Amino acid sequence: MAADRYQSFAPVYDLFACEPVYRPGRLAGIAGLGLRPGQTVVDAGCGTGLNFVHLEAAVGPSGRIVGIDASPAMLGRARHRIRRNGWTNIHLVHADLTAVGPAALAGLVHEAAPDVDAVLATYVLSVARSPAAAWERIVALCGPGTRVSVVDMQLPTGAAAALAPLAALACRLGGSDPSAHPWTLLEHDSRDTHASSLRGGHIQVRTGTPNSTAPPRGPTTR
Ligand SMILES: C[S@@+](CC[C@H](N)C(=O)[O-])C[C@H]1O[C@@H](n2cnc3c(N)ncnc32)[C@H](O)[C@@H]1O
């Protein structure tokens, strides 16, 4: 299972995350969410929390971030990062996005944040045992208008195809299936998908507003 791989990978994940290559994908996914101060964003498959600094900049101290991951070791690194930075508005949830009941996951997230304005999934769905099952849980977190960004990998195309062996190695190391194309799930379920790609097509970014399956929630005080 993918999370098992990350249990042993956690201590060195940040060293091998190749941020000069992959950070632009995070930034594009986050920009697409159009986050405002005070909003709530779920980081699905948050890993060690490499997105947190960018999400904090977007939602500010009055906003909320909920990080979900299946690997306790990755969550341990995320917790360490939160402590080191003194962030007090990040809540971590230990859950397998392919196994937890959609309603149970929504319950865990809503305990920390009654309304979810946005969900970010960077480099996680192609790693998940079943991207479709994980996507179903993500959609269950969404209310009407919740924005979702999926950022993931495939082999580079066109002139950049020469770099395919390098990209394939990166995918193999991370346990990512470059043929999974999980962004097609968002394209299928959203009426307003915005698409972009980076690094010769290796990084694919999709942002949209999935048709919510969540039951209507009562009025909140926010
Ligand atoms: C390549 S890392 C990406 C981490 C982070 N999103 C980032 O951008 O750095 C993949 C992460 O997905 C998590 N993961 C894999 N399958 C999962 C699942 N079914 N449910 C929750 N997390 C999962 C792993 O534990 C790991 O932390």
Residue 217 pLDDT greater than 50, yes or no: no
Q: DSSP string of 153-221?
A: E----GGGGGGHHHHHHHHHHHT--TT--THHHHHHHBSS-EEEEETTTTEEEEEE-BPP-SPPPPP--
Distances (CA, A) of 148 to 1, 4, 8, 88: 25, 26, 29, 24
**pLDDT at 220 (0 to 100):** 34
97 Cβ below 6 A of ligand 1: yes
The pTM for the full model equals 0.93
- CA 12, CA 122: separation in Å to the nearest integer? 18
Specify if 215 maps to a domain. Answer: no
Q: Among all chains, which residue has been given the structure tokens 């319950």?
A: 107
Residue 115, both tokens: 């309304």
CATH (domain of 130): 3.40.50.150
Specify if 70 maps to a domain. Answer: yes
**8 Å CB contact between 133 and 185:** no
The model's pLDDT over 97-122, given as tens digits with 9 standing for 90+, comes to 999 999 999 999 999 998 999 999 99
Specify if 85 maps to a domain. Answer: yes
Specify if 143 maps to a domain. Answer: yes
Q: Please state the atom number of ligand 1 nearest to the C-alpha of residue 47.
A: 27
Residue 221 pLDDT greater than 80, yes or no: no
Percentage of the chain exceeding pLDDT 90: 78
Specify if 151 maps to a domain. Answer: yes
Q: Please state the atom number of ligand 1 nearest to the C-alpha of residue 97.
A: 20
138 Cβ below 6 A of ligand 1: no
78 Cβ below 6 A of ligand 1: no
Specify if 219 maps to a domain. Answer: no
- Average pLDDT on 59-85 reads 98
52 Cβ below 6 A of ligand 1: no
Specify if 109 maps to a domain. Answer: yes
Poorest-pLDDT segment among 17-21, 60-64, 142-146, 216-220: 216-220
Question: Cβ of 157: how many Cβ atoms within 10 Å?
Answer: 12
Specify if 222 maps to a domain. Answer: no
Domain count, the chain: 1
Residue 142, both tokens: 């969404």
Cα angle 177-183-188, degrees, rounded to a multiple of 5: 130
- For ligand 1, the distance from its centroid to the CA atom of residue 222, given in whole angstroms, is 30
For residue 65, the enclosing domain spans 2-207
Question: Cβ of 186: how many Cβ atoms within 10 Å?
Answer: 24
Residue 222 pLDDT greater than 70, yes or no: no
Residue 164 pLDDT greater than 90, yes or no: no
- For ligand 1, the distance from its centroid to the CA atom of residue 39, given in whole angstroms, is 23
